[in-house]
Amino acid sequence: MSKAIYPGSFDPVTLGHVDIIHRAAKMFDSLTVSVLNNSEKTPLFSVDERVKMLREVCKDLSNVKIDSFSGLTADYAQRSGTDVIIRGLRAITDFEYELQMAQTNRKILPTLDTVFLTTSLEYAYLSSSIVREVASYGGDIHEFVTPDIAEKVYSKLGVNRNGK
Ligand code: PNS
For residues 26 and 61, is the Cβ–Cβ distance under 8 A?
no
Nearest CA to ligand 1 atom 8: 8
The structure's pTM equals: 0.97
For residues 70 and 35, is the Cβ–Cβ distance under 8 A?
no
User: 73 C-alpha to center of ligand 1: Å?
Assistant: 7
Residue 61 confidence (pLDDT): 98
- For residues 4 and 148, give the distance between their C-alpha atoms in angstroms, rounded to a whole number: 27
Q: Which CATH architecture has domain 3-124?
A: 3-Layer(aba) Sandwich (3.40)
Residue 163 confidence (pLDDT): 63
- DSSP assignment of 26-51 equals HHSSEEEEEEE--TTS--SS-HHHHH
What are the structural domain ranges in the chain? 3-124
- Catalytic residue (one of 9, 34, 80, 128): 128
Nearest CA to ligand 1 atom 5: 8
Residue 39 confidence (pLDDT): 82
User: 155 C-alpha to center of ligand 1: Å?
Assistant: 27
Q: Is 18 helix (H, G, I), strand (E, B) or coil?
A: helix
Nearest CA to ligand 1 atom 22: 101
Ligand 1: which of 95, 101, 132 to mutate, judged by most atoms within 8 Å of the beta carbon?
101
| Ranges of residues in the chain whose predicted pLDDT is under 70 | 163
